Amino acid sequence: MKFFKDDQDEVYAYEDQQVLEGLADGLTPITEDEKKQLLVPTVEQLTAQKKAEIQARLNEIDLESLRPIRAIQQANATDQDTQKLAALDAEAVQLRAELAGL
């Protein structure tokens, strides 16, 4: 496997046969160490990933909250419903604070 990069530092990997076929034409050959350096995520990428993970969990919390909220609204909630909703709300508050800090 040989590694190459383009002008925007996008990394490409090709087998020897693919290189012979010209797929790497116009690309700059790079070493394994250079490839690793180029593929390290930036702080911005890591932050965006963390934000997306938090938002996905907040969306899950919203869905998980529907059953307990419906039970409370219909006045037939159990202690388990109120405890579950309280736990989900506490988790959501913590996640929103973490998201605000990013």
Grouping H, G, I as helix, E, B as strand and the rest as coil, residue 14 is strand
Give the residue carrying structure tokens 């006045």.
75
Question: What is the number of alpha carbons within 13 Å of residue 61 lying toward its C-beta?
Answer: 19
14, 23 Cβ separation under 8 angstroms: yes
Q: Which residues neighbour 61 within 8 Å (Cβ) at sequence distance 6 or greater?
A: 88, 91, 92, 95
| pTM (global) more than 0.95 | no
Sequence letter at residue 77: A
Model confidence over 12-71: pLDDT tens digits?
A: 999 999 999 999 999 999 999 999 999 999 999 999 999 999 999 999 999 999 999 999
98, 53 Cβ separation under 8 angstroms: no
